[in-house]
């Protein structure tokens, strides 16, 4: 019986209270596309419910944003560029990196491996950006104006919701990532 009490005492003394909660407030990014032709797009950064940063006038029509690791990618459609910001506890590091897309009118993006793939209306293709060098290494032509893009890590699936003549479309193009060829 004495051993039992010693065991219980040992367990109580050696136990640690792990119920101390530390509040891990993650950042939330809200993009506002701004007015077409006005270069007044903005990104607001929130920590919990408090706005900790607002970046204004970053370009013309903020089409989409994507967080990958400690980077935020922002596609500015009518400015024809991608902005890359480093993320820290304080928000986004300024001024960021500008990557011109050569008047391609970029739309949506996805990261697969070390590449950012993004759709483009004017050039009617999917371009791929090397995430180490921040250089656009090439493009994959599609038939129509590509919009949404997702991946299963082997293929890209690209929504074509408008033809080159601006008539409605409703197709999905399948692109093999290894060969960078349209397969369906």
pLDDT at 30 over 60: yes
Domain boundaries, position 50: 27-100
Question: Does residue 123 sit in the same domain as residue 184?
Answer: yes
Answer whether residue 9 is part of any domain.
Answer: no
Domain ends where: 68, 100, 132? 100
pLDDT in tens, 94-127: 999 999 999 999 999 999 999 999 999 999 999 9
Domain count, the chain: 2
For residues 26-55, b (16+ Cβ closer than 10 Å) or e, as one string?
ebebebebbeeeeebbbbbbbeeeeebeeb
pTM of the predicted structure, to 2 decimals = 0.84
Mention every residue, 6+ apart, whose C-beta is less than 8 A from residue 61.
33, 34, 36, 41, 76, 77, 78, 79
Q: 41-90, pLDDT tens digit by residue?
A: 999 999 999 999 999 999 999 999 999 999 999 999 999 999 999 999 99
pLDDT band at 184; cut points 50, 70, 90: confident
Last residue of a domain, one of 100, 120, 151: 100
* CATH number, position 150: 2.40.10.480
């Amino acid at each position: 019986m004495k051993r039992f009490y010693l065991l219980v005492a040992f367990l109580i003394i050696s136990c640690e209270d792990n119920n101390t909660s530390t509040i891990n407030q993650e950042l939330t990014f809200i993009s506002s596309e701004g007015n077409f032709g006005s270069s007044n797009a903005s990104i607001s950064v929130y920590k919990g419910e408090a706005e900790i940063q607002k970046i204004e006038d970053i370009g013309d029509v903020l089409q989409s944003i994507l967080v990958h690791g400690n980077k935020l990618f922002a596609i500015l459609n009518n400015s024809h560029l991608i902005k890359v910001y480093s993320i820290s506890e304080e928000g986004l590091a300024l001024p960021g990196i500008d990557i011109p897309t050569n008047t391609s009118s970029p739309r949506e993006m996805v990261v697969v491996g070390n590449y950012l793939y993004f759709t483009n209306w004017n050039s009617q293709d999917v371009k791929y950006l090397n995430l180490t060098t921040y250089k656009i290494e090439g493009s994959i032509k599609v038939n129509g104006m590509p919009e949404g893009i997702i991946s299963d890590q082997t293929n890209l699936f690209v929504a074509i919701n408008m033809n080159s003549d601006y008539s409605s479309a409703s197709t999905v193009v399948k692109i093999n990532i290894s060969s960078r060829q349209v397969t369906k």
